[in-house]
């Protein structure tokens, strides 16, 4: 009978690549959320400074 090849190193490498990719994605979402909050604050401050026009 043939022996089963040891592919545990490939499995470990696959898990590492997967978790690193997910970590980068979560970090990207966090940074995008921070930028979105900053943009909302900027828009709110611009809206507050804008004089109301009378018609």
pLDDT for 3: 92
Taking 90 as the threshold, does the pLDDT of residue 32 lie above it? yes
Q: CA-to-CA distance for 23 and 31, rounded, in angstroms?
A: 12
pLDDT for 1: 73
Q: CA-to-CA distance for 54 and 35, rounded, in angstroms?
A: 34
pLDDT band at 54 (very low <50, low <70, confident <90, very high): low
Taking 70 as the threshold, does the pLDDT of residue 55 lie above it? no
Taking 90 as the threshold, does the pLDDT of residue 49 lie above it? no
What is the pTM for the complete model shown? 0.72
28, two tokens: 């990207």
Helix, strand, coil % (nearest 5) of the chain? 75, 0, 25
């Amino acid at each position: 009978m043939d022996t089963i090849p040891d592919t545990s190193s490939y499995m470990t490498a696959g898990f590492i690549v997967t978790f690193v990719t997910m970590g980068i994605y979560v970090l990207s979402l966090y940074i995008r959320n921070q930028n979105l909050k900053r943009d909302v604050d900027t828009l709110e401050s611009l809206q507050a400074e804008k004089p109301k026009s009378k018609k």
